[in-house]
Amino acid sequence: MIDRNVDVPWSEFDPEAYVNLNYRIPLEADLLIVGLMRDYFSRCYAEGVPTSVRGVDMGAGANLYPALSMLPWCEKILLLEYAAPNVEYLERQALGGRYDTVWDAFWEVLSEAPAYRDVEPRSRFGEIVRVERADLLDLGGQRRWDIGTMFFVADSISDCPDGFRRGVACFMNALNGGAPFAAAFMKESLGYQVGGHHYPAYRVNADRARESLEPFAAELEIHDMDHMVRPGHEGMILALGRRNPVIAVP
């Protein structure tokens, strides 16, 4: 069993292969998730957006749609990523507001809501997004954001329950009280292949996701989706909610 993020061959991760496999042709499950995030964040900010909202996508990987979902609400967005190849991919995407056209299909879904239609996504992405190499397990609750996303990260740190729970706790402890969040997990995943490398996964189900998040969440909704996108898992789980005002200890 793998119990440490550093034990995984992240330096060999191929972001282009990952994008081609998962996002080049938009999957129904991802489009559904994007719509649910769009509607949830729109409800959270229905009465106005506070000044200086700072967003974070934890373990952003080669996936821009979580960050795109935060564009209308944020003054700044930080993409935190551990794998060096993914950091390089994200930096290229953020450079000069020229992210790949593969992400246009996801913005089309987001722009069905009024707040998103008022945003020119490429220029806004280039203006407010920056990328940093970091391990969410090392944050220690010392840095906090006002809205956050974490997609397929806590369940991919290791194949151990402690690694999963610690990943969730580190994410939630990086959010200010009241911060809206979205977290997604592969349901009952046995791991996944990118290029010639196998990457681990902890077998999450809806109950395990809820149990890990409830101590940190003032409100929580779990979407258990039976959408298969590859062999070796049983669907996807999306958690939406707000961080409670009590800072829990990981």
> What domain range is 34 assigned to?
5-243
Residue 58 within a domain: yes
Cβ neighbour number for residue 249 with a 10 Å cutoff: 7
Residue 250 within a domain: no
Residue 99 within a domain: yes
Query: Taking a C-beta distance cutoff of 8 angstroms, is the pair 231, 218 a contact?
Result: no
Residue 203 within a domain: yes
pLDDT class of 1 with cuts at 50, 70, 90: very low
CA nearest neighbour of 63 among 149, 165, 158: 149
Structural domain tally of the chain? 1
- What is the domain-level CATH number for residue 178? 3.40.50.150
Q: What is the mean pLDDT of residues 80-109?
A: 95
Residue 89 within a domain: yes
220-234: per-residue pLDDT in tens?
999 998 756 665 556
Residue 248 within a domain: no
Residue 149 within a domain: yes
Please say if the pLDDT value at position 97 is more than 50. yes
Residue 189 or residue 162, greater confidence: 162
Please say if the pLDDT value at position 159 is more than 80. no
Please say if the pLDDT value at position 248 is more than 60. no
> 172 Cβ partners below 8 Å, 6+ apart?
181, 213, 216, 217, 243, 248
Q: What is the reported pLDDT for 3?
A: 45
The DSSP secondary-structure symbol of 86 reads H
Q: What is the reported pLDDT for 193?
A: 53
Query: Taking a C-beta distance cutoff of 8 angstroms, is the pair 138, 166 a contact?
Result: no
Please say if the pLDDT value at position 177 is more than 60. yes
Q: Rounded distance, CA 164 to CA 209, Å?
A: 10
Please say if the pLDDT value at position 148 is more than 70. yes
Q: Rounded distance, CA 248 to CA 142, Å?
A: 13
The residue count of the chain comes to: 250
Among the residue ranges 55-64, 85-94, 138-147, the one predicted with the least confidence is 138-147
